[in-house]
Amino acid sequence: MLSHPNVRYATPSASGNLNSGALPTLASAKVHLRVDFNDDDDYITAILSSVESYIQDYCGVTFGSTVTHVAYWDHAYPVVNVHWNGDSIKSTGAGNAPVLAQLVDGTYVDMEDADYDLDLVSSPIRVHMKSASSHVEVLNQYRLTFKTQTQTVPEYVYQAALMIIGHYYENRQDVGKERIFEVPMNSRYLLDRYRKQAFT
């Protein structure tokens, strides 16, 4: 993701799991690898965990229920575009409404709804700061907190995961005396379709 220089994404906190079948399981990975024995189960399970982390990091998405904190400064006025990747934004129900807060004396204080507008229809979230909330004599810092839900992934991401699993399983060493170049990963072409690449 290519970020606006005055918009900072904090590390998201996540809970919950993907729906069954969203990413390969041990059983489906073994079918793909044509492994019909159990000796490598622990190794393949470790690969599955690594592949999920890789996809999340590469595509800028956190699977499960995610709380994201985005900080920005007055330099980002008048409209801040906050990108997100996932199935949906949680905006209804108790505690799920996005919250905009301003840093005041070292503490974030929730702002009044009248001071800003949020457009949650699609990614990016458009945060429109109203002029009355800005004070030219100080550099104001804000934090937008919102929740997303990612319980499914496209089928081509599932296929990319299988390809990466196969790559990791067949190439257990970084290099060898007969191969000292990077192994091309066609999975990246699939993941690039899912990856968020945009200026905020």
What is the structure's pLDDT at 188?
81
What is the structure's pLDDT at 200?
43
Q: How far is CA 149 from the centre of its chain?
A: 10
% helix, strand, coil for the chain, step of 5 = 30, 30, 40
**pLDDT (average), residues 61-79:** 82
The answer to the question of residue 76 being in a domain is yes
Let me know: does 161 contact 191? Beta carbons within 8 Å. no
What is the structure's pLDDT at 5?
66
**Token duo for residue 86:** 């996932």
Q: What is the pLDDT of residues 80-135, one digit of tens each?
A: 888 887 788 988 888 889 999 998 888 999 998 888 999 988 778 889 887 655 44
DSSP 3-state assignment of 134? Answer: coil
91 and 115 housed in the same domain: yes
Kindly tell me if the per-residue pLDDT of 12 is higher than 60. Answer: yes
**Token duo for residue 32:** 């793909």
What is the structure's pLDDT at 166?
93
**What whole-number distance in Å separates Cα of residue 145 and Cα of residue 33?**
41
**Token duo for residue 152:** 């499914």
What is the structure's pLDDT at 41?
97
Q: Where are the alpha helices (DSSP H) in 137-186?
A: 155-170
Identify the residue whose tokens are 């968020």: 196
The answer to the question of residue 45 being in a domain is yes
What strand order describes the sheet that includes 125-129?
A: 79-82, 125-129, 116-119
143 and 127 housed in the same domain: yes
132 and 70 housed in the same domain: yes
52 and 91 housed in the same domain: no
21 and 92 housed in the same domain: no
Identify the residue whose tokens are 């790559």: 167
Number of domains in the chain: 2
The answer to the question of residue 33 being in a domain is yes
Kindly tell me if the per-residue pLDDT of 27 is higher than 90. Answer: yes
The answer to the question of residue 4 being in a domain is no
Instruction: Please classify residue 103 by burial: count the beta carbons closer than 10 Å to its beta carbon, then call 0-12 exposed, 13-18 middle and 19+ buried.
Output: middle
What is the structure's pLDDT at 131?
62
Q: What is the pLDDT of residues 184-193, one digit of tens each?
A: 567 887 888 7
144 and 92 housed in the same domain: yes
Identify the residue whose tokens are 């005041």: 104
The answer to the question of residue 199 being in a domain is no
73 and 114 housed in the same domain: yes
Identify the residue whose tokens are 């005396």: 177
The domain in which residue 133 lies consists of 65-149
Q: Find the CATH number of the domain harbouring 36.
A: 1.10.3230.30
Percent of the chain's residues with pLDDT above 70: 82
